[in-house]
Amino acid sequence: MAKGLKYMSDPRWADFFTAPSRMLKDASMNGYAAGDCDDHGALICALLGSLGFLVGLRAWGREKGEFTHVYAVVAMPKISPTELVGLDTTVEESEPGWEPPKGHVLTALLDAR
């Protein structure tokens, strides 16, 4: 991933999902990977999950039941976690712990440990 992880939106007429393994294959061939928010989130979860972290995806939306954004969360600390930390790689001003503006969220966790 010498050239990074780029944001690329899905076409307006479809919602595509790129598996983390495919994104890593693209990165090895091109030097970068690209995808939308759910692709980024799944890749971050796959990478941190492979290191033994409790991870998940969080869907966000301004209105209840209308989710328009997805990002990864990781439980911290790794042993006996007490909080979920947002890891959104698609928002330029984000950093670990950044969350979107107040809205409705749905979080799904995967404990692969």
Q: Where are the domains of the chain?
A: 4-110
Partners of 85 in beta bridges: 74
What percent of the chain has pLDDT above 70? 96
* pLDDT score at 106: 87
* pLDDT score at 113: 59
Residue 112 in tokens: 């692969």
pLDDT band at 77 (very low <50, low <70, confident <90, very high): very high
Residue 11 in tokens: 């076409």
The count of residues in the chain is: 113
* pLDDT score at 1: 64
Handedness of CA 49, 55, 56, 58 (dihedral sign): negative
